Amino acid sequence: MDIKTYMQQLGRQARQAGREISKADSGRKNDALLKIAAAITEAGAELAGENRKDLEAGRANGMDAASLDRLELTPARIGAMVEGLKQVAALPDPVGEISNLGYRPSGIQVGQMRVPLGVIGIIYESRPNVTVDAAALCLKSGNACILRGGSESIHSNRAIAACIAKGLAAAGLPEQAVQVVETTDRAAVGELVRLQQYVDVIVPRGGKSLIERISAEATIPVIKHLDGICHVYIDGKADIDKAVAIALNAKTHRYGVCNAMETLLVAESIAPTVLPVLAEKYAEKGVELRGCLKTCSLVKQAVRASEEDWHTEYLAPILSIKIVADIDEAIDHINTYSSAHTEAIVTEDYTLARRFLREVDSSSVMVNASTRFADGFEYGLGAEIGISTDKLHARGPVGLHGLTSLKYVVLGDGHIRQ
């Protein structure tokens, strides 16, 4: 079978299974999630064995240490997958929830029912745990999914897929509700993102280049997260202790994550007080500082930042720092250079906090909290399939609700339009 025919077949099967799964009640879906968890626990040794094949192939192909680490399914990671399934099972079922049902002057009742999107295509890189996480969220939200992981993890993914199929079957749900693309041929991705008839939305998870390529090729809507150029603005009325704690946490808690701060903005009036303290703490952590002219005159460790720096997501122990006149310049800088992921203000000023919340156009906007909180678990979504920097449909961390939409329901008693 050629790739096109194969992908069409997956699509047709997913559409059919999606109709079944959209009708499944919460108890059955939760039962499936727990049975998948049991199947994974039982298959521990087998999963490790299949994963070893991927690791060996990776080493033979000269994969770097960081990639090998991401690829590895340690017992702790298998345990985390099982735990994740149980957590998703424990979340409330969003499907079928009716909101705002009220009577209209005509006598009809109108409300909105939360419904699955249908079929989700997920394209990701080498972490095999994404296979389980994504399947769990799609299943709970009543969607079928087609999962295309990195070719480096094909053995691991196939073994995980077998556990998922086992759990679905044991719960009496169609196995084809979760399908893993069985070929490593790259053409499969090109086909998947054009299966308009069968796939309702594509969620790419991975680096910026993967996501840009998929967005350019897709004829299906894409829920995407490009990059996280996050800002913290320390206002003139900031509490110094809070400012230092937040600016340090936002940059140094973890470097390679999308919600880490990349640029620090500091009000001119407070810069001489706060920047030298911060610079010393950053120096202890080995963070390289790149500043505007004024920053460099206050902070001896800083080198001059270029225009390029304001546009850069370092994902590394590097920070760009700009001294601004006031909140207007800060908001203007953010709305110009930010990737609309997450921004925070540190201030004790009520009016400025209120302005920042309203005027900063990003998916998460914070007052006196670290940008590192921008995360599905921290927000109480339970789990996330990604963080959307788009404005339409889902913005910010995307959990179960982001995989659903709202249809109108109308109840009448023989009502006709006059």
Which residues lie near a second copy (CB under 8 A)? 19, 22-23, 96, 102, 104, 106, 108, 110, 113, 115, 117-118, 200-201, 221, 223, 239, 241-242, 245-246, 248-250, 253, 335, 344, 346, 357-359, 361-370, 372-374, 378-380, 390-393, 395-397, 405-417
Question: How far apart are CB 159 and a second copy at their closest, in Å?
Answer: 33
Distance in angstroms (rounded) separating the CA atoms of residues 310 and 207 = 20
Q: Closer to a second copy by CB, 165 or 374: give it.
A: 374
Question: How far apart are CB 71 and a second copy at their closest, in Å?
Answer: 27
Q: Closer to a second copy by CB, 62 or 380: give it.
A: 380
Which residues fall within 8 angstroms of residue 284, CB to CB, at 6 or more apart? none
Question: How far apart are CB 177 and a second copy at their closest, in Å?
Answer: 16
Compute the CA torsion angle 314, 152, 77, 168 (nearest 10 deg). 120
Distance in angstroms (rounded) separating the CA atoms of residues 413 and 393 = 33
Question: How far apart are CB 384 and a second copy at their closest, in Å?
Answer: 12
Q: Closer to a second copy by CB, 22 or 339: give it.
A: 22
CB atoms within 10 A of CB 72: 19
CB atoms within 10 A of CB 158: 16
Q: Closer to a second copy by CB, 127 or 341: give it.
A: 341
Question: How far apart are CB 152 and a second copy at their closest, in Å?
Answer: 30
Question: How far apart are CB 164 and a second copy at their closest, in Å?
Answer: 24
Q: Closer to a second copy by CB, 132 or 394: give it.
A: 394
Q: Closer to a second copy by CB, 35 or 225: give it.
A: 225
CB atoms within 10 A of CB 243: 24
Return the bridge partners of 144, or none: 119
CA-nearest of 238, 274, 229, 225 to 369 is: 238
Decide if 259 contacts 371 (C-beta within 8 A): yes
Distance in angstroms (rounded) separating the CA atoms of residues 402 and 388 = 10
Distance in angstroms (rounded) separating the CA atoms of residues 160 and 136 = 12
Distance in angstroms (rounded) separating the CA atoms of residues 144 and 84 = 19
Q: Closer to a second copy by CB, 39 or 360: give it.
A: 360
Question: How far apart are CB 13 and a second copy at their closest, in Å?
Answer: 16
Distance in angstroms (rounded) separating the CA atoms of residues 178 and 328 = 49
Distance in angstroms (rounded) separating the CA atoms of residues 47 and 136 = 18
